[in-house]
Every structure is written in structure tokens, then in C-alpha cells.
Structure 1
Amino acid sequence: MSEDERAAGLIGPNAILQLLPQLARLGDAEGMLARAGATIPDGTEMIPEGEAARLHRLLRTELPDLASELAAAAGRDTARYILAHRIPRPAQMLLQALPAPLAARALSRAITKHAWTFAGSGQFRAIDPWDFEIRHNPLIAGETSDVPLCHWHAAVFAHLYQTLVHPGCTCTETTCGAQPGHATCHFTLHRS
């Protein structure tokens, strides 16, 4: 992604596309899209991150009891899409054959290389193969919360690690940029 595209605030279409089936289960996908001022991406190019952010924010506002579950399901579906369409099968097999620490190192490098697809104008950093952070995460921009909000991101990371590093991997957002006093969304992966 060029600096111009990053500055324009573009994010991958799966930030919306994989949330739509979850909203459709509730019978209100089109209504929520309209209320969020978002459109259905065609999936072939990056989309304005503001549309995705408004839809995620609306989900948290209108369906607070279901938002984390629906966002996590969309995150898992996003990871499944990545595995099916973006990571070649030979590369997946190689990662799965490596010891978990080496696989985690390789996967974290790949995630860092492609972070613009899920971090948009935010700044992603792999602290180490098991800890990530996103500064200025556009999907929670301007929000305040006592608890972490980034269930979509955590589920994407968890499912990729479960599939490619170790089936017992989990991901926890330990702090969120929406929480007072925190500038970044910090994600920690654990292997059981």
C-alpha cells in the first residue's frame, strides 16, 4: 500500500464482508449497513475505513450484548478467507510443520507485512511473535470503553495462529485504545 492509500484510510473489505452474514442471521444486515452509511464491498479492492468503523461502532451500540460474539465470528471468517485465498497451501503446510516458536515468528512477519489490510491508517507493530499492537486503530477511533472492543482483530489473529502455529492458541486483547489511559490496542497470543 502506498503512503497515499494509507493516508486515505483504506482497509480490507473483509472488515465489512465477513460481518454481513452475522448480521443477516439477525435479519438486519441491510438496515445496519444503511444506518452506518456503508455499502456492500465487491471484495476486489480496499474500502474506506470509515465505513467499516461506522458499521462496527453501530454493532456495538445497537447490539451491545451480541457485539463481541458477532465480531469474533466475523473475525474467524476473515481468517478462514485469508487461509483459503491469501496464504498458499504449501506455505500453510510449511508453517504447520515447523515448531510453534518458528511458525509464530514466520506468521507474525507475514501479518506485519500485510497489516494495512486490517489496520488501515492505524500503525501495526509486532512487539514479538506473540504480542501485537495497533496504534490509532480506525475501527475504534473516537470511542471510549471500560473494556477492550477489538473482538474482530483478536479472532482473526487467534484463528490464524490456531490453524498455522498450534491448535491451542488463543488471543486476548489486553488493552484497547478505546480504554482511558491506553494509546494502543494490545493483543497477546498464548499457546496452551
Structure 2
Amino acid sequence: MGAAKLTERFEAALVYANRLHANQTRKVSGIPYISHLLSVAALVLEMGGSEEEAIAALLHDSIEDQGGKPIREDIRQRFGETVVAIIDGCTEWDTPPKPPWQERKNRYIEKLRHASPSVRRVSLADKLHNARSLLADWRQMGDVIWTEFSSGKEKTLWFYQSLVQVYRETGSDVMIEELERVISQLS
């Protein structure tokens, strides 16, 4: 598979993502949120993802975090149906009120079981980067990091372990193996 060719659409998505998430920071570390989006896009490209998947990676949290359905429509007009379909596959909820944690996670896992390879790729990149960040924070601060998660340690790890099982259903790759290693180090 050849490397994705990145065009001005990717550039436009970078600027758009940066503006959308300008005032957002990461849990625990307080790092600007764009760092996560850039990392997820980089992982998608490293996995051989397409430009559309990389754009979806940059925007994968936008519907959930930055305004729901109106943002979804804006993204559809700017970047097209394919990008929106991938983002939809990575979105836990889009209509307030936010459902309870367990319900959201169960629904996400179920959706992922039937997801396209594109959705799985962006989802895996997202979860791998989150898990890497979690491990880095834990190494620095210890178990106090779990207080930042409404679900706590056990449920958070249950979610990641469940995701690993779903990703494994479509074969193995280095990213899934790394996710599994990171989660076992947190356990």
C-alpha cells in the first residue's frame, strides 16, 4: 500500500481542528488538545491510512466535544460524507444529555464490532494514543491519575481490554499489540 498523498484538504482540516479545539486541554497533563489529534492522525498515517482517514482522525472528537449535530453538518459540507461516516463511527454520543458512562462504552464497543476498516483504524489510533498518555501520566504521578476518570481504574481498564478483544477480531497488527502491552502495564 502506497503512502497517503496529503492535499490542501488535510491542511484545511488541521486549521479547522486547531480552531475547534483551541480552548481544550488534555485530562491530567493539561497539554493542548490538538497534540492528541495530531498524534492520532500521525498513527493513522503510520498504519497506512488514507487522507480521508487522517482528516477524520484530526476531527474524531469534534462532534462529541465541540457542538454535536451542527458541527457534524459543517464537517460534512467542508470534508464530505466519507470523513463524517468515519467520525460517526468513532463518536460515543452526539445529542445531549450525555448518556451514562457504561451505556456509552457498551454502545461504542458494539458499534466497533461492525465498523468499517477505516473506523477501526481511527478508533485504534485514538485509543492507543490515549493509553500511551495514560501510561505516561501514571508513571509520572501514580494512581492519583485515576481520580480524573469518572469511571475509575477498574472500569477504564475493562473498557480498554474490551476494545483490544474487538480489534483482535480482525487480525493482529503492531498497534493492537502495543495497545495490549500498554494496558497490561497499567493493570
Give the TM bin, normalised by the shorter chain: 0.3 to 0.5
By relative contact order (CA 8 Å, sep 6+), the higher-ranking structure is 1
Using structure 2 for the length normalisation, give the TM-score: 0.33
Using structure 1 for the length normalisation, give the TM-score: 0.33
Higher strand share: 1
Higher helix share: 2
